[in-house]
């Protein structure tokens, strides 16, 4: 038994993490083309284009990388909106108008959204019981809901820039 363990320790395990690659190109191209259902395109391409991409590990790798890509977009839009709303709130104060405190409302909305997102994706994971599909299902949920929120905040930024 000990020799089997030593042999197993000496044999290289598949290095999926270092062999897999992710690029957001498919999702980004869908958005540029005006697509409305773009979330997951890059993750799908990642799963199809990487050896082991259809494994639980591979799905997790691809979905998490696209989720992070969307999260970066969401954070950039949130930061831009925070700045826009701070400027709007200051201008309203200077003009003597009633201040709606857009900046605080945005922060409160985003905090509530985070709780809702987490609860929605915990519910999605629960549908899988203790099965291995819960991980990818959770990541797919997080990616989709984050994409939806990123696009909603980006639309607000675009409206404010008009």
Per-residue pLDDT, 106 = 95
Per-residue pLDDT, 4 = 37
The pTM assigned to this predicted structure is 0.85
Q: Are residues 77 and 153 in contact, defined by beta-carbon separation less than 8 angstroms?
A: yes
The tens digit of pLDDT for each residue in 100-135 reads 788 999 999 999 999 999 999 999 999 999 899 999
Domains plus CATH for the chain?
A: 22-160 (1.20.1270.180)
Q: Is the pLDDT of residue 2 over 50?
A: no
Provide the CA 155 distance to its chain's centre, in angstroms. 17
Per-residue pLDDT, 62 = 97
Tell which phi-psi region holds residue 131, choosing left (phi > 0), alpha (psi between -120 and 50) or beta: beta
Distance CA 56, CA 39 (A): 19
- Of 2-11, 53-62, 153-162, least confident by mean pLDDT is 2-11
The tens digit of pLDDT for each residue in 49-72 reads 999 999 999 999 999 999 999 999
């Amino acid at each position: 038994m000990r020799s089997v363990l030593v042999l197993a320790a000496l044999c290289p395990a598949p290095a999926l993490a270092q062999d897999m690659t992710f690029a957001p190109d498919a999702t980004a191209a869908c958005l540029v083309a005006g697509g409305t259902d773009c979330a997951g395109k890059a993750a799908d391409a990642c799963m199809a284009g990487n050896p082991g991409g259809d494994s639980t590990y591979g799905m997790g790798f691809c979905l998490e990388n696209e989720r992070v890509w969307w999260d970066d977009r969401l954070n950039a839009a949130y930061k831009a909106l925070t700045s826009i709303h701070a400027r709007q709130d200051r201008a309203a104060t200077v003009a003597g108008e009633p201040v709606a405190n857009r900046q605080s409302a945005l922060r409160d909305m985003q905090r509530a959204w985070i709780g809702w997102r987490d609860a929605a994706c915990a519910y999605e994971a629960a549908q899988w019981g203790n099965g291995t599909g819960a991980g990818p299902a959770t990541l797919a949920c997080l990616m989709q809901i984050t994409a939806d929120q990123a696009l909603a905040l980006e639309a607000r930024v675009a409206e404010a820039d008009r």
